[in-house]
Amino acid sequence: MTFDEIRAEGTGIRVHGNGFIQIDLPNSKRVNVWGHSAIPRQNVATQLHDHRFDFYSFVLRGTMVNAIYRESTTRGLDPSHDVYTPQPRAGEDTVLVPFGDPARLFIRQVDAMLQGESYRMRAGDIHETFVNQPTATLMLKGETYDRPVRVFCPIGKKPDNDFVRHEVMNEDDLWQIVGDVFA
């Protein structure tokens, strides 16, 4: 997929609070653009999360690392993360509110995907993604389930609910960043 194709088909370009750009495409597709230094982000990272839908993600440019976590059910272990769930705010924006008991999370698997490679996530799998260079991915959404989305913050850190994605950068500047990544 090229920049021109994304620009022609894309709607709803916006910043995600974890420092990447989201562009909606037809047929339950989304392009995410990561790792460009001009993308604004929240003060407190909340990239450890799950989804209510299954998805495949294809790396179009760059390299991505996906870390998958599991929740420990072992009694007596101190929790590592407070659990939040997003609640709607204006537009596509959300605020994170407390949700359930704290959790103890452990890394289960870490995979690096190069340009042209892909990975699959099931709804409810806890994960976070990292990039160390400008990277673009194409996400294909699968089945959606009636379940809450969870976001995990390390114990003692509170989410940055002051970050408002629609107020941090205009659409023209966002498209310029996407163009830079695909150049």
Per-10-residue mean pLDDT, the chain, length 183: 93 90 95 95 90 97 96 89 90 85 95 96 96 96 95 93 84 95 93
- Of 15, 31, 25, give the one whose Cα is nearest residue 166: 15
What's the total number of domains in the chain?
1
DSSP H/E element including 32: strand 29-34
pLDDT at 166: 79
The predicted model scores a pTM of: 0.90
What is the biggest distance separating any 2 CA atoms in the chain, rounded to whole angstroms?
Answer: 54
The burial class, CB within 10 Å (0-12 / 13-18 / 19+), for 90 is: exposed
pLDDT at 88: 87
CATH no. for residue 7? 2.60.120.10
pLDDT at 72: 92
pLDDT at 62: 96
The alpha carbon of 135 is separated from its chain's Cα centroid by a whole number of angstroms, namely: 13
24: domain range? Answer: 3-163+170-182
